[in-house]
């Protein structure tokens, strides 16, 4: 795809979905990391509603690390996969305390060693916490990037590398939420709503569509 076409698409995404998003409510880095972990396979609304009570109940990383598992489960019971997430949250905090002196590491290679933290969560954390450029690839980004002809890879890591070559660095951090919004409203997994898609003129409609 021509650079001019990529720039035109990015301008449309900026116009329609904005260049910044509302972050998860938190006071400390470890809280933001856990909030991002909670958002996996859950709605942002569910996470937003749970966080104030969660941080009030566990105000420090030591409180979370030392809490009984049922306490954490009860605090996030409204969120999908709450049992496994509670287990990972507790272990993650224990690892941050024992292995990193209570400070969340700032390298992806170290972040992904923490319980419950994958490459997607790690990249998103670095972007949200420190504005460190990175392309976060979830199912929406993977699907739409292929349909636009920006990437051909079939795995998140492959698509991440391709998008880092195609997209200007200043757009990396926001492409995730922009394509999530577009994927939920227009270019869904079930069907491409091309009749109302503002990107239709540039779309190559790859095989997965």
Give me the active site residues, please: 120, 138
Q: How far is CA 163 from CA 82, 133, 134, 160, 193, in A?
A: 32, 12, 10, 5, 23
How far are the Cα atoms of 57, 66, 144, 167, 181 from residue 154, in angstroms, in the given order? Answer: 41, 40, 12, 18, 21
- Gyration radius from the chain CA atoms: 18
C-beta separation of 8 from 202 below 8 A:
yes
C-beta of residue 194 within 8 angstroms of C-beta of residue 200? yes
């Amino acid at each position: 795809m021509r650079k001019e076409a990529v720039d035109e698409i990015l301008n449309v995404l900026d116009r329609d979905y904005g260049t910044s998003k509302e972050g998860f409510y938190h006071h400390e880095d470890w809280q933001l990391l856990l909030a991002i972990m909670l958002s996996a396979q859950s709605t942002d609304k569910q996470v937003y509603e749970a966080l104030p009570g969660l941080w009030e109940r566990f105000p420090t990383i030591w409180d979370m690390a030392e809490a009984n598992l049922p306490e954490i489960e009860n605090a996030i019971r409204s969120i999908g996969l709450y049992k496994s997430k509670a287990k990972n949250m507790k272990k993650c905090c224990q690892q941050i305390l024992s292995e990193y002196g209570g400070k969340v590491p700032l390298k992806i290679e170290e972040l992904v060693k923490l319980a419950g933290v994958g490459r997607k969560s790690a990249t998103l954390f670095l972007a949200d916490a420190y504005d460190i450029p990175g392309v976060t690839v979830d199912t929406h980004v993977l699907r739409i990037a292929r349909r636009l002809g920006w990437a051909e890879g079939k795995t998140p890591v492959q698509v991440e590398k391709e998008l880092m070559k195609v997209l200007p660095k200043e757009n990396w951090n926001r492409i995730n939420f922009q394509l999530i919004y577009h994927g939920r409203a227009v270019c869904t997994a079930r069907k491409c709503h091309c009749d109302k898609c503002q990107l239709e003129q540039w779309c190559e409609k790859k095989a997965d569509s």
